[in-house]
Amino acid sequence: MKATNRTLRAGTMLAAAFTLAIGFAGTASADTTLTVWDWKNGDPVTADYYAAVKKDFEAAHPGVTVKYVMQPHDQYYTLLGTAISSGQGPDVVLLHGGSQAKERVSALTKLDDKVADIKGTVAGWDEFTGADGGLYAVPISIQGFAVYYNKDLFAKAGLDPEKTPKSWADLSATAEALKKAGVAPFALGNKEGFGADFFLSAVAANGWTKAQQDAWTKGDLKWSSPEVKAIVQAWVDTKGAGWYADGANSTAKFMDEYESFERGENAQTIGLISDVAHWKEFDEFLGADKVGVYVMPPIAGGDGSLKLPLAGGIGYGVTKFSPNQDLAADLVKSFADTDHMKIFFETAGAIPANTKVDTSDTKSPSAKVILAWLSDGVPLAHNNMSTAEVEEWHRQSQLLFTGETTVDKAVARLDDVQAQSKKK
């Protein structure tokens, strides 16, 4: 018994020493390594794209290793924050276009000189442009909001599956017809408040003038102004009119909402054009010929034309503290390279930011429609809000649905948050 105990204890000590030794041995570093942080590279659909970038870059730069680190998306900005605040971490980072990128430009390298040669071929720079007008990340995808609909359910409600709503009145009539047929007009998930973001951006897109969009971005167009308040009012009214399936506040937009659309439980959904919840995925579930797509009409205003709200989706930037500035910038450009972007488009179904990518051989009817819209888009309103405003809109949109607040109270509160974040 005593002997066993002694052996056990000796073994324990040995094992401790062993693990510590292994632990320390793991710290040895190679020669130049470029570390990339994102939340995408482990995704099976993007695997080919990332492998191609790595292979080509390492072949062109002997002695350099590209190291992808995929972070869980929910902790991504927390981790990035710790890395930035301590001035040590990845060389290249992925960012969402809009406020998430713009609020972090002081930690990123200005890329204007380095990307001059690709500036013309890549689109979506606005979302990654700092207040100083400098470019801080290279967009790799274009993101936009389109309304997808289920042609079978349109037919079931006696609607022409090829005729899409062109005005708010059309849209209301469509919703009424669908309701009569016992079909929920829209799938809606607002658990995180994303449903409200999509609604705001989609409805504002063709209702606001260019000047109003600019004022919105600067924080000068208040929530209580008629253009904005009308959308908040419509958010409540459409719920009252029974446009949405019940339980929106407890339905996650990703992917509960889209999965119910894919199961054919609702007729329409405001979806994306890249990554997920897009033509490629809906085609797969409903059949390419059963999926239709249109641009959300405005409540009022606009010039009658319907343009797709779009923006640079995600983009790679170089951190200021990276010791390999030039190499990192090269790698960032390699992500947006035409050949690589082609793989990105074909395997992940993302609309590439690189306009040179040949997308003519795509078979999806909705993809063709979307690609034709790309040349002339309008801004994505919610991308140009401060993060604090976005978060508050998430909360207020839910309370408007539960009836715990009114439109007047909600816009008053949002005005406050908007004013506060503008001050900073």
Partner 1 sequence: MAAVERKQKRVLWAISIPMAILALSAVYPIFFTINAALKTRKGFVLDRFGLATDPTFANFSQAWNQSRLSEYFTNSVVVTIGAVLLLLLVSSLAGYALAILRFRGSKLIFTIILVSLMIPVQVVLVPFYRTMIALDLINSRAGLIIAYTAFFLPFSVYLMTAFYARLPRELFEAAQIDGAGLVQVWWHIMLPMGKPALITLGILNTLYCWNDLLISLLVLQDQRTLMVGIAALRGEYTTNVPLLAAGICLAAAPIVIIYMIFQRQIVSGIAVGAVKG
Partner 2 sequence: MTSTMIAKETESRQPTAGRRSIFGNNAHRLAYLFVLPALVLVILFRIVPLIWGLGYSFTDYNGMSTPTFVGVQNYVAIAHDPVFLDSLINMLILLATLPIWIGLPLVLAILIHQGVPGGKLFRAVYFFPAVLSSVIVGAIFNMLLRYDGSFNAALKAMGFSAIDWLGNSNTALFSLIAVQLWATFGMSLLIFLAGLSTVPSDMLEAAKLDGAKLMQTWWYIVIPSIRPIIEFAAVVTTIGMLTSMFGLIYVLTAGGPGTATTLPEFLIWLEQGKMNRPGYASAISMVLFLMMGGLAWIQIRIMSKNADL
Chain residues that interact with partner 2, rule: CB under 8 A: 74-79, 81, 84-85, 103-104, 106-107, 191-193, 245-252, 256, 260, 387-388, 391, 394-396, 398-399, 401-402, 404-405, 413
DSSP state of 108: B
Q: How far is the CB of 191 from partner 2 (least distance, A)?
A: 6
- The amino acid present at 69, given as its one-letter code, is V
Query: 100 vs 362, which CB is nearer to partner 2?
Result: 100
Query: 47 vs 374, which CB is nearer to partner 1?
Result: 47
**Residues contacting partner 1: total by CB under 8 A:** 45
Strands (E), 212-274: 266-272
DSSP result, 31-59: SSEEEEEESSTTSGGGHHHHHHHHHHHHH
Query: 256 vs 346, which CB is nearer to partner 2?
Result: 256
Closest listed residue to residue 344, CA positions, set 316, 310, 378: 316
Interaction of residue 160 with partner 1, rule CB under 8 A = no
Q: Which of 177, 179, 285, 355 binds partner 1 (CB under 8 A)?
A: 285
DSSP result, 181-196: TT-EEE----SSSHHH
- The amino acid present at 310, given as its one-letter code, is L
Q: Which stretch binds partner 1 (CB under 8 A): 124-132, 199-207, 224-232, 253-261?
A: 253-261
Query: 49 vs 76, which CB is nearer to partner 2?
Result: 76
Bridge partner list, 67: 35
Q: How far is the CB of 32 from partner 2 (least distance, A)?
A: 26
Q: Which of 56, 152, 170, 259 binds partner 1 (CB under 8 A)?
A: 259
Q: How far is the CB of 12 from partner 1 (least distance, A)?
A: 6
Question: Strands 142-150 and 266-272: what pairing?
Answer: antiparallel
Q: How far is the CB of 96 from partner 1 (least distance, A)?
A: 9
Q: Is the dihedral of CA 351, 357, 363, 369 positive or negative?
A: positive
Residue tagged 């009012």 (tokens): 233
- Within 10 angstroms of residue 218's Cβ, the number of other Cβ atoms is 10
Name the CA radius of gyration of the chain, rounded: 24
Query: 7 vs 250, which CB is nearer to partner 2?
Result: 250
Q: Is the dihedral of CA 351, 355, 361, 366 positive or negative?
A: positive
SS3 332: helix
44 and 87 Cβ atoms separated by less than 8 Å: no
Give the one entry of partner 2, partner 1, none that residue 106 binds, where binding means its C-beta sits below a cut-off of 5 to 8 angstroms depending on kind. partner 2
45 and 349 Cβ atoms separated by less than 8 Å: yes
Give the one entry of partner 2, partner 1, none that residue 263 binds, where binding means its C-beta sits below a cut-off of 5 to 8 angstroms depending on kind. partner 1
Q: Which of 34, 35, 164, 308 binds partner 1 (CB under 8 A)?
A: 35
Q: How far is the CB of 397 from partner 2 (least distance, A)?
A: 9
Q: Which stretch binds partner 1 (CB under 8 A): 79-87, 220-228, 365-373, 374-382?
A: 79-87
Q: How far is the CB of 273 from partner 2 (least distance, A)?
A: 24
Interaction of residue 67 with partner 1, rule CB under 8 A = yes
Q: How far is the CB of 386 from partner 2 (least distance, A)?
A: 9
Q: How far is the CB of 74 from partner 2 (least distance, A)?
A: 6
- Read off the tokens for 145: 């909001």
Q: Is the dihedral of CA 71, 75, 77, 83 positive or negative?
A: negative
Query: 22 vs 131, which CB is nearer to partner 1?
Result: 22
- d(CA 199, CA 188) in angstroms, rounded, equals 10
Interaction of residue 5 with partner 1, rule CB under 8 A = yes
Burial (CB count within 10 angstroms: exposed 0-12, middle 13-18, buried 19+), residue 72: exposed
Interaction of residue 371 with partner 1, rule CB under 8 A = no
Kindly give, in sequence order, each residue whose CB lies less than 8 Å from that of residue 76, ignoring residues fewer than 6 positions away.
37, 39
Helix (H) or strand (E) holding 417: helix 407-423
Q: How far is the CB of 246 from partner 2 (least distance, A)?
A: 5
Q: Which residues bind partner 1 (CB under 8 A)?
A: 5, 9, 12, 15-16, 19-20, 22-24, 26-27, 35, 39-40, 42-44, 47, 67, 69-75, 78-79, 81-82, 85-86, 88-89, 254-255, 259, 262-263, 275-277, 284-285
